[in-house]
Amino acid sequence: MTRRELTNFALAVIAFAILACLPFLQDGYVLSLAVGVAMYTVLATSWALFSGPTHYISLATAAFYGLGAYVVSAGIDVIPYVVLLGLAGIAGGVVAALVGVATLRLSGVYFVIFTLGLAELIRQIVTWVQNNLTGSRGMYVLTEITERIIYWELLALAAAVYLIGWLVARSRLGFALRIIGNDEVVAAHVGINSAAAKLALFVISGIFAGMVGAIMAPRFTYIEPSIVFTPELSFQVVIMALLGGVHRLWGPLVGVIPFTILWELIAARFPNQTVLLLGIAFLLIVYLIPNGVVGRIEAAFKLAGRRIKHG
Amino acid sequence: MAERTVLEVQGVSKRFGGLLAVDNLSFAVRENEVVGVIGPNGSGKTTVMNLISGLLKPTDGDIFLGDRVISDRPARFIARAGVARTFQLVRTLPSLTVVENVMAGAVFGHKRLWGRAVRKFALRQLERVGMGQAINAPTASLTYIDEKRVELARALASDPRILLLDEWLAGLNPTELTIGIDLIRSLREEGRTIVLVEHVMDAIRSLCDRCVVMNSGAKIAEGTPDATLADKEVIRAYLGDEHA
């Protein structure tokens, strides 16, 4: 590790330690807001690990998330919660692998539609199974797990996302993805297995989304397909990641914090217009700041640097 | 003594719908040899390069690298087996720096370096093509010939058994052309095995050991540059009947 990397690493550890103290100072509303921020940080950052370099827009987040929540609700009475967390991650990863093998050879547009349909497909299957086999649509998840614990779990998962993202960026896999993002023909001609590289990252994002769903399940208490497989979740993750910027590991965080707070306000004031506003936000971000806030800031710095040099 | 055959194209055809772009083409390339694939526009030269590198699959026939059939394998496999190329329309990786562009060639393919070794190795390739400076510059800021140099350095970075140059000299101005020809000649002198598609006749005469001349997808002549360029059939293909 270089000196700069060591400094960054130390700063990250300190930041996480400070954030971990939050539940001792604040409870109630602030903590619930922090849970939202932590949850979307994990989802948007792991989403960007895959979508940033490959430019594939995945709308499958809700599929993995819902699957994770359902793993917990199905097994909570018989299997220890910690094991369920692991199983939820595996479920997310396996489904991501299956979907990836089938669709990552397709071009971008088909992939977007397929992933959007996937969440709906799984939701319909779960609904059908529950209606026909178990008799009731919803399921209860009754545990002793408090909001504080959920927050700490998410914080730990966020740390894991950043660690994995950092390791991937330093690896051959990370380098391969940057080349793929530039030119897939060149990637193939220097010996890169593009499909395998993309699949690896898609599986990573599936594992994290599955685990987030499992962590959030006790918070819902009552779980229903329409709650955990909601397409709104997938869209919010995409919007937040794009708002922040996907070409830096910490980029999505810059989008997650303001958007989660803003959304909290909007959902309280205009509960019936959220989908419309989500669509407008999506258009504004894609047209006005395609590289995200971080991209804008970096471009401004670069311009300023050039001005100083020539000025 | 004749050198070993590195690449053999055996009865290869490629059909795009109703168009027969390559028609039952056969030729072989021996070690340390520079072979030119020439012919009028639209005669199928670039398609041949794409078939060898695996960008396209032949409709018929086989391509061998050494004794292995490569024509039924994906491009990444062919690259790992030791085939490197440049593209007719230069393909650099714009969001990567110059040295990273070259490193790309040495990490996943025929050569599999990583860490400090790959950077040092890439720097040597850049010096090799005359681009020792500006290694950390963004690729987007390069001039045309420098982009071509970077692409060539990337191909060399895999230490290929065979190097495919698809009109590497096209689009260069007269001064750059002299530099370019000298550069390819120096590769030839260090014993690289090269297949090149080229329109620049001076380059073909001074660089190639042998030429394969194509017209409408088929081979119409093969031999030394002087002999093939004097061939009646070849002149007719390039210039029409009245000059033959």
CATH of the domain at B42: 3.40.50.300
Question: What are the mean pLDDT values of chain A's consecutive 10-residue runs (311 residues total)?
Answer: 85 93 87 95 96 90 96 92 96 95 81 89 90 79 90 97 95 94 94 94 97 96 90 93 91 93 87 86 86 87 75 51
Q: Counting one residue from A and one from B, how many pairs have CB atoms under 8 Å apart?
A: 63
pLDDT score at A310: 65
Q: Which residues of B45-74 are buried (b: 16+ CB within 10 A; e: fewer)?
A: bbbbbbbbbbbbebeebebbbeeeebbebb
Query: What are the tens digits of pLDDT across the range B102-139?
Result: 999 999 999 999 999 999 999 999 999 999 888 888 88
Looking at the complex, report in whole angstroms how far the Cα of residue B240 sits from the nearest Cα belonging to chain A: 37
**Are both B26 and B138 inside the same structural domain?**
no
**Are both B65 and B109 inside the same structural domain?**
no
Query: What are the tens digits of pLDDT across the range B203-220?
Result: 999 999 999 999 999 999
pLDDT score at A286: 82
Which of these, B148, B154, B91, B146, lies nearest to B125 by C-alpha position? Answer: B154
**Looking at the domain assignment, is residue A261 inside a domain?**
no
Chain A residues with a Cβ under 8 Å from any Cβ in chain B: 172, 175-176, 178-179, 181-183, 185-186, 188-194
Confidence grade of residue B54 (pLDDT, cut at 50, 70, 90): very high
pLDDT score at B226: 92
Angle at which helices A147-170 and A29-54 pack, to 10 degrees?
A: 20
**Looking at the domain assignment, is residue B109 inside a domain?**
yes
Looking at the complex, report in whole angstroms how far the Cα of residue A9 sits from the nearest Cα belonging to chain B: 20
**Looking at the domain assignment, is residue A178 inside a domain?**
yes
Tally of structural domains, chain B: 2
Q: Which residues pair with B28 in a beta bridge?
A: B8
Q: Which residue of A has its CA nearest to B93?
A: A182
Range of the domain at B24: 5-82+161-243
Q: What is the mean pLDDT of residues B35-58?
A: 95
pLDDT score at B136: 87
- Cβ contact (<8 Å) for B84 and A188? no
Share the mean pLDDT of chain B. 93
| Option in B94, B107, B158 nearest A172 (CB) | B107
pLDDT score at A177: 94
**Looking at the domain assignment, is residue B33 inside a domain?**
yes
Tally of structural domains, chain A: 1
pLDDT score at A28: 85
**Looking at the domain assignment, is residue A9 inside a domain?**
yes
Q: Is B122 exposed, middle or buried (0-12, 13-18, 19+ CB in 10 A)?
A: buried
- Cβ contact (<8 Å) for A188 and B75? yes
pLDDT higher than 60, residue B1: no
- Cβ contact (<8 Å) for B108 and A183? no
The encoded tokens of residue B176 equal 């750059």
**Are both B123 and B53 inside the same structural domain?**
no
Q: Which residues of A231-262 are buried (b: 16+ CB within 10 A; e: fewer)?
A: bebbbbbbbbbbbbbbbbbbbbbbbbbebbee
pLDDT score at A179: 94
Range of the domain at A128: 3-229
